[in-house]
Amino acid sequence: MSENDATPKQLTVTPRENRAPARGWFLKGRRPEQDGEVQQHGSVEESLPHGMLVAGAWSWRLLVIGAVIAVAIFLVVQLRLIIIPLLIAVLISALLVPFVDFLHRHRWPRWAAIVAAMVSVIVVVGGLLYLAVWQVTRQSHELQTQSVAAYDQFRVWLTSGPLGLSESQISSALDSLARSIQQDSQIFITGALSIGSTLGHVLAGLLLVLFSTLFILIDGRSIWNWIVRIFPKRARRAVDGAGQAGWVTLRNFVKVQILVASIDALGIGLGAFFLGLPLVIPIAVLVFLGSFIPVVGAVVTGALAIFIALIFKGWVFALIMLAVVLLVQQIEGHVLQPLIMGTAVKVHPLAVVLAVAAGSLLAGIPGALFAVPVAAVLNVMVHYVSSGAWREGAHREYSAPDTVLWQTVPRPPRRART
């Protein structure tokens, strides 16, 4: 052992009054005064309360997250002519993939199953639109005549009813309305000039929907694997499992919405038929399409049937049609939803209303259409990642969580263990 090793090390003791202020006391739960240290020239962080520091840390992180979400929404709005057809193609693919797999399991060639699925969709959608347009065209003269008669009756009610308006007052109101339309004619001219571009956008969107659906059915798994490989290797298993969980959820959602929309259209259409209303097929088609916007869509399109009943049959038939619409909605919400879904999943009614309202404010009708499935899929994907189920390594169908946003219907009551 050397002499230096044998000599004890000298410890330098700093006088108490020259010591630097203690750092990190707000993290350790001790204050400098407890150690007998007087903080005379502390930093700004040391002078702030612990709650203020925590609130500041949360605030700037929330601001960054909000900025990222705002940029994402801005990009979606700017690229809406591409994003909307792509989302429609994903919804259609979620409906057609089980049908294609069913045909393929029954010894159909893959290409034949895909062609049969695509042709079936085109025939069904085209047939419904053709029937609606055909009935509107055939009854257009009757609709025009009845609308004029209803307008005359409304004018008579304004003059002889409780309002007691004079013909001069009604004519003055109509003249002011005509003048305001003439003053704002530039808006209509601009809209007329943009009809060509709008039709071009619709045609391009339809083609994009068809091509996107076709390639998702052909090579959807490879496309998803390419998306997964964008992420770091450590995150790929979680992303892949979350995507599969979201896909299962989306498939359940689309199948249930198709069935619920069909039942809504059938119920309201039969009600209009038995009341002897015209335009039964267009009413049923509009109710079917509107039912894809949960809660709101069927009510709004059902209001059209009530309006037609009021014009053609009077207020008594309009009240009966209103009762039919409300009855269909009640049967859907309290009887059909639990029986049809079984162990399938559905969005909580409060979440539906909030999601539809937010989506319609941000993106109009497309936002209201896609708000609920997007919220449901994101909720399941986030829950899958946070639950750690992807660490098990085995891919399996993931059941949705029983949370406020997403719940299983019906849920049998839990029995206490004895």
**351-365, pLDDT tens digit by residue?**
777 887 888 787 777
Alpha-carbon distance of 15 to 11, in angstroms, equals 13
Alpha-carbon distance of 24 to 185, in angstroms, equals 69
Alpha-carbon distance of 340 to 103, in angstroms, equals 24
**Residue-level pLDDT at 259:** 83
Better-scored residue on pLDDT, 333 or 208: 208
Summary mean pLDDT of the chain: 74
**Residue-level pLDDT at 352:** 74
What's the Cα-to-Cα distance from 52 to each of 44, 48, 172, 387, 395, rounded to whole Å?
Answer: 12, 6, 64, 31, 44
Better-scored residue on pLDDT, 267 or 182: 267
Mean pLDDT within 334-343:
57
Alpha-carbon distance of 242 to 371, in angstroms, equals 19
Amino acid, single-letter form, for residue 237: R
Alpha-carbon distance of 282 to 272, in angstroms, equals 11
pLDDT grade for 404, boundaries at 50, 70 and 90: very low
Better-scored residue on pLDDT, 378 or 18: 378
Amino acid, single-letter form, for residue 59: S
Better-scored residue on pLDDT, 411 or 345: 345
Point out which residues pair with 346 in neighbouring strands: 407
Structure tokens at 395: 């891919």
What's the Cα-to-Cα distance from 229 to each of 72, 237, 241, rounded to whole Å?
Answer: 21, 10, 13
pLDDT grade for 302, boundaries at 50, 70 and 90: confident
Residue length of the chain? 418
Residue 202 pLDDT exceeds 90? no
Residue 13 pLDDT exceeds 60? no
What are the helix (H) ranges across 194-314? 195-230, 233-274, 280-290, 296-312
**163-196, pLDDT tens digit by residue?**
666 777 767 777 776 666 555 544 444 443 444 4
On whether the CB atoms of residues 252 and 344 are closer than 8 A, the answer is: yes
Q: Which of 88-92, 153-157, 225-229, 412-416 has the lowest mean pLDDT?
A: 412-416
pLDDT grade for 19, boundaries at 50, 70 and 90: very low
**Residue-level pLDDT at 132:** 81
Better-scored residue on pLDDT, 293 or 319: 319
**Residue-level pLDDT at 335:** 67
Q: Which of 136-150, 181-195, 202-216 has the lowest mean pLDDT?
A: 181-195
Residue 157 pLDDT exceeds 90? no
Residue 64 pLDDT exceeds 90? yes
Better-scored residue on pLDDT, 16 or 198: 198
**What is the phi/psi pair of residue 280, to 5°?**
-65, -45
Better-scored residue on pLDDT, 318 or 294: 318
Mean pLDDT within 196-216:
81
Better-scored residue on pLDDT, 290 or 186: 290
Point out which residues pair with 408 in neighbouring strands: 345
Structure tokens at 183: 């003053």
**Residue-level pLDDT at 194:** 41
**112-124, pLDDT tens digit by residue?**
999 999 999 889 8
Residue 26 pLDDT exceeds 70? no
Q: What is the pTM of this model?
A: 0.67
% of the chain beyond a pLDDT of 70: 70
- Report the range out of 32-46, 328-342, 390-404 with the highest average pLDDT: 328-342
Better-scored residue on pLDDT, 156 or 282: 282
Residue 187 C-beta-side C-alpha neighbours within 13 Å = 5
- Report the range out of 36-40, 77-81, 224-228, 406-410 with the highest average pLDDT: 224-228
Mean pLDDT within 337-354:
61
Mean pLDDT within 277-306:
81
Q: b/e string for 216-229 if b means 16 or more Cβ within 10 A?
A: bbeebeeebeeebe
**Residue-level pLDDT at 393:** 53
Mean pLDDT within 59-78:
88
Nearest to 380 by CA among 231, 254, 249, 256: 249
**Residue-level pLDDT at 67:** 93
Residue 60 C-beta-side C-alpha neighbours within 13 Å = 5
**Residue-level pLDDT at 338:** 57
